[in-house]
Amino acid sequence: MGSSPDVLIIGSGIGGGTLAYRLVQHGLTVTILERGGFLPQEPENWDVNAVFFHQKYVPQETWLDKDGTPFRPGTYYYVGGSSKLYGGAMLRLRERDFEDLEHAAGLSPAWPISYRQLAPYYDLAERLYLVHGEAGVDPTEPPDVPQYPYPALEHEPVIERVASALKDQGIKPFSLPLAVQRHEGGACIRCKTCDGFPCKVHAKTDAEVAAVRPALATGRLTLKTNSKATRLVLTSDGRRVNAVEYESNGCIERITAPVIVLSASAVNSAALLLRSACDKAPRGVANSSGIVGRNYMAHNNTALMSIGWKINGTNFQKTICINDFYFGDDGFKYPMGNIQGLGKLQAGMLTAKHQYLPNFVGRLMAERSVDWWIMSEDLPDPKNRVLLQGDKIRLHYTANNMAGHKRLTEKTVSLMRKIGFKLNIAKHMGGLSVSHQCGTVSFGGDPSKSALNQFCRSFDHNNLFVVDASFFPSSAAVNPALTIAAQAVRVADHMAKVDFGVTGTT
């Protein structure tokens, strides 16, 4: 392979990895710059103390919050990106999420594409990530969703009893679509260390497993690990990105390609564009609109422990989902959001961030709890933004649209009490939970109000694309991974045809 590929991608997560996989299917040559290396398969992958107390896999860097206080971000730099530690939830946005949607605190804006335009790419993404699920049971499911590639994971006995009790209350719980390999021949053993942990046996279908490794096997992908992109260099007229500078082994190197794709995460992609400011782009690359870094979103999230008297022996708890209140209810006409099973909490996970909680108390609570993740939409706000402060990233974020989230948390607690969980402990996660970060380089139809067109191509530089959750104009209230992957496949097909004249796949 020559030194200059057809496409250069910065980042190997869900966006960059999926894009690379689809591009090599079109016969194109691709190089990925990944700032980290391969996450090792080792005993610590499944060790609560290593993952949560020692934060072994969290990067040794600090960002600043809106007050200038340093914190360690829960983002990950490995081949596969943050998907190496995701929970594998693969939900489609609802059809109405693509339209203007009125919330209690304001408007969630329409996307420049419709659900129908993305639907066939959702199909392809579900097949690529080997999603296990059941169509037709989610009360807010978009129309005409085909059967999933694999059947849904069955609930373990305690969760089955919870689901049955919820149905007796008129709720319609359903099986959460998951990217785990629980099919015949798959390596999944339904352990307690999936959600928030790396998978030691590669049974979680993350971007490395599903996309990067298969793309490498074709011989058309070159992967440069431990290679951190530091600047985008424009052509003399400023209309194209001429090269990418990156740091590797202590040296600054430069690489070029006809097409450049930024897939470094919503925060880091925005930061790199801002850091690349020059005479031809004084406010940052792709930022003639001034919106790069603005409208940061990450969902309103609450973790809930519903504690009963009986021991919960469930290993793999993340199989249940509730969308009954996604768009509101009779008493609250605005959207509330999504409720899904959280990976089984364990004692060390509780005490790691609560130094005054004795271990034995944490153990007693965790042994008897059913755990939930309550997720609602936060709205785009230009004041919520990614900034550069010297060599550090500053994440200026203030929560918004909390009325629906508080209502959803109250509804969930009420339901748990009705089915026998009298002690319910809710913890709001705050805006520094960056696992669902999105929105900082949004796509749209108006170059004065958005940075990218509907195919994630920069309005300012016609060979630059941004393909990660940066392009989201709204956050909706489901996990973003499947939508990132679907759009990556869509962009790859467009890029192959428009930029390289290729229509078929190999």
**pLDDT surpasses 90 at 168:** yes
Residue 505's pLDDT is: 85
pLDDT tens string 79-91: 999 999 999 999 9
Domain holding 144, by residue range, is 7-500
pLDDT at 348 over 90: no
Could you tell me if residue 93 is left (phi over 0), alpha (psi between -120 and 50 degrees) or otherwise beta? beta
What does the pLDDT look like over 34-77, one tens digit per residue? 999 999 999 999 999 999 989 999 999 999 999 999 999 999 99
What's the pLDDT band for 432 if we cut at 50, 70, 90? confident
Question: Mean pLDDT, to the nearest integer, of 207-218?
Answer: 98
**Within 13 Å and on the Cβ side, how many CA atoms surround 172?**
10
Instruction: Please report where in the chains the tokens 């990530």 appear, as a residue.
Output: 129
Residue 232 and residue 244 in contact, taking contact as beta carbons nearer than 8 Å: yes
Cβ atoms < 10 Å from Cβ of 311: 9
Lowest average pLDDT, out of 118-132, 333-347, 358-372, goes to 358-372
The predicted structure's pLDDT at residue 358? 52
CA torsion sign, 498 to 499 to 501 to 502?
Answer: negative
- Residue 387 pLDDT more than 80? yes
359, pLDDT greater than 70: no
Q: Is residue 2 part of a domain?
A: no
Burial class of residue 297 in the structure, from the number of CB atoms within 10 Å of its CB (0-12 exposed, 13-18 middle, 19+ buried): buried
Query: What pTM was estimated for this model as a whole?
Result: 0.97
The Cα 103–Cα 82 span in angstroms is: 29
The three-class DSSP label of residue 426 is strand
**Average pLDDT value for residue range 284-312:** 95
Q: Which long-range contacts (CB under 8 A, 24 or more apart) does 396-400 make?
A: 396/65, 396/66, 396/296, 397/65, 397/66, 397/296, 397/298, 397/431, 397/432, 398/66, 398/431, 399/300, 399/430, 399/431, 400/105, 400/106
Specify if 58 maps to a domain.
yes
pLDDT in tens, 228-239: 999 999 999 999
Pairing of the two strands 338-341 and 30-33: unpaired
Q: pLDDT band at residue 227, thresholds of 50, 70 and 90?
A: very high
Residue 17: name the closest of 5, 3, 33, 1 by CA: 33
Across the strands, what pairs with 245?
231, 254
Supply the CATH number for residue 298's domain.
3.50.50.60
pLDDT at 417 over 90: yes
Strand-pair partners of 63: 71
In the structure, how many helices (H) and strands (E) does the chain have? 11, 20
Rounded to 5°, the CA angle 50-371-13 comes to 55
Q: What is the pLDDT of residue 109?
A: 98
CA 195 – CA 236 distance, rounded (Å) = 47
| 49 φ/ψ angles, rounded to the nearest 5 degrees | -65, -45
User: How much is the pLDDT for 430?
Assistant: 78
Burial of 1 (0-12, 13-18, 19+ CB in 10 A): exposed
Cβ proximity of 116 and 51 under 8 Å: no
Strands in 392-396's sheet, in edge-to-edge order, are 70-71, 63-64, 392-396, 385-389
Q: Let me know if residue 1 belongs to a domain.
A: no
As a whole-number percent, the residues of the chain with pLDDT over 90 amount to 91
Q: Does residue 397 carry a pLDDT above 60?
A: yes
Specify if 505 maps to a domain.
no
Q: At a CB cut-off of 8 Å and minimum separation 6, what does 489 contact?
A: 18, 19, 22, 121, 124, 125, 128
Q: Is the pLDDT of residue 2 over 50?
A: no
pLDDT in tens, 451-496: 999 999 999 999 999 999 999 999 999 999 999 999 999 999 999 9
- Of 207, 205, 163, 200, nearest to 183 (Cα)? 205
In a domain, 414, yes or no: yes
Contact 286, 458 (CB under 8 A): yes
Q: Is the pLDDT of residue 357 over 70?
A: no
Q: What is the pLDDT of residue 272?
A: 98
| Tally of domains in the chain | 1
Quote the CA–CA distance of 301 and 406 in Å, as a whole number: 10
Band (pLDDT 50/70/90 cuts) for residue 1 is very low
Question: How many whole angstroms from its chain centre is CA 217?
Answer: 25
| Secondary structure (DSSP) of 326-354 | TT-BTTB-S---EEEEPPPP-HHHHHTT-
Q: What is the mean pLDDT of residues 130-158?
A: 97
Average pLDDT of span 164-186? 97
> In this structure, is residue 398 part of a structural domain?
yes
Look at residue 356 and tell me if it is in a domain.
Answer: yes
For residue range 5-27, what is the model confidence (pLDDT) as tens digits?
999 999 999 999 999 999 999 99
The letter for the amino acid at 208 is E
